[in-house]
Chains A and B, each alone.
Chain A
Amino acid sequence: DAKTTQPNSMESNEEEPVHLPCNHSTISGTDYIHWYRQLPSQGPEYVIHGLTSNVNNRMASLAIAEDRKSSTLILHRATLRDAAVYYCILRDENSGGSNYKLTFGKGTLLTVNP
């Protein structure tokens, strides 16, 4: 499986934008980029995913580099409730079997200061 690299931690202030980076230099053409987040003592929650084009939803935006070797999750206005561990995951959507699983690394711990 192609791997991702994320900073261990980041800090932000409330109501400011947050840019969470993810490097995935060995990404394959059929790998989708998924982002999940996990609040303390809860199960992970889907945030967003994309293949090549930038994506927006009610939670966040995903900016994908032209060469697809990196991506950035953008929280437009951080709130205290956004404090969580954010996971960047690659998943091959064109394969079956065990490729349906998500491989979680340690993610980025985001701290939001009031």
Chain B
Amino acid sequence: DGGITQSPKYLFRKEGQNVTLSCEQNLNHDAMYWYRQDPGQGLRLIYYSQIVNDFQKGDIAEGYSVSREKKESFPLTVTSAQKNPTAFYLCASNLGGLGSGEQYFGPGTRLTVT
């Protein structure tokens, strides 16, 4: 079955530690995205990548970093510089390019930092 996987589903970390969230897709999609969702709010874009070895900052990139070394993988690192890292993190992908329409989302990772 094709789709997007995120792991783990729940993640707990101590303040001051960096943590990396995994996102893998086997849909052969060029474009991948990371969003953050806080309780009762919509999604906000952190980073996106339209092609391997290239990525751009979204609306709230501060305190986060990404890499795109392989087409199917787009890991997100939440660094200790992120002031409020506790949130629900969602990865998505689509074909990319003009008229690419539907975006496919993973199940999300809920990160709690104490």
Contact = CB atoms under 8 A, between A and B. Distances in A.
B21 to A, nearest CB: 13
A49 B107 CA distance: 22
B33 interface: yes
B64 interface: no
Given A101-B45, A102-B43, A106-B40, A43 B98 contact: no
Interface string A67-111: 000000000000000000001000001111110111111110000
A32 to B, nearest CB: 8
Interface residues of A, number: 25
Contacts of B40: 106
Interface string B95-111: 01111111111111010
Contact of A93 (B31, B45, B98): B98
A44 B88 CA distance: 12
A100 B103 CA distance: 9
Interface in B1-57: 4, 31, 33, 35, 40-45, 48, 50, 56
Contact-residue size bin, chain B (C-beta under 8 Å from the other chain)? 20 to 34
B92 interface: yes
Contacts of B44: 104
B30 to A, nearest CB: 10
B13 to A, nearest CB: 19
9 contacts: A36-B103, A43-B90, A43-B105, A43-B106, A49-B102, A93-B100, A96-B98, A101-B48, A106-B40
